[in-house]
């Protein structure tokens, strides 16, 4: 298993993004995550996008962070927002999400970000368990879904 940095619009990243969107539709019954995102937001030093590949060269996990600063959507100066954390079903339980999360935190810290933030949903208990066991705590809601009753926001200081 190896993890590498790629553009968010790389074909492998786009494939995993389609997969995670399908899972959101399955869990929430809507059109998926409509949060506006642009590949340029994940280009260093403003962010990074990571993909994990298995021994056969198949992309099996993804995750990225993008720079956020204080704005009307509830972000704070120094925030690094995690987006598109995903592991394909047959690769779950191997610690890939935890490895990607640690790599994202290290990269954001090196880029001078002071807090990791993320938004997940009430229908994703596995994600909430991962973040809570990794030192994330519930925080004030922010971002595109901040008004949704299903939204769950978490933060972790990077200092």
Say how far apart CA 60 and CA 49 lie, in whole Å. 14
Q: Assign domain 2-115 to its CATH superfamily.
A: Gcn5-related N-acetyltransferase (GNAT) (3.40.630.30)
The per-residue pLDDT for 43 is 97
The per-residue pLDDT for 131 is 98
Mean pLDDT of the chain: 96
Q: List, for residues 78-134, the tens digit of each pLDDT value.
A: 999 999 999 999 999 999 999 999 999 999 999 999 999 999 999 999 999 999 999
This prediction has a pTM of: 0.95
pLDDT of 31 higher than 80: no
Task: With residue 105 as reference, give the H or E element that holds it.
Answer: helix 96-110
């Amino acid at each position: 298993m190896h993890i590498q940095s790629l553009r968010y619009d790389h074909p492998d990243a786009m494939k995993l993004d389609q997969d995670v969107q399908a899972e959101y539709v399955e869990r929430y019954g809507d059109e998926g995550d409509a949060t506006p995102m642009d590949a340029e937001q994940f280009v260093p030093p403003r962010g990074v996008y990571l993909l994990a590949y298995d021994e056969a060269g198949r992309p099996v996990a993804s995750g990225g962070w993008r720079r956020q600063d204080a704005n009307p959507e509830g972000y704070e100066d120094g925030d690094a927002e995690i987006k598109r954390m995903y592991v394909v079903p047959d690769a779950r339980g191997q610690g890939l999400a935890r490895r990607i999360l640690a790599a994202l935190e290290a990269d954001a810290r090196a880029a001078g970000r002071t807090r990791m933030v993320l938004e997940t949903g009430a229908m994703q208990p596995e994600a909430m368990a991962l973040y809570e066991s990794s030192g994330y705590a519930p925080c004030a809601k922010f971002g595109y879904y901040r008004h949704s009753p299903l939204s769950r926001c978490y933060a972790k200081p990077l200092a």
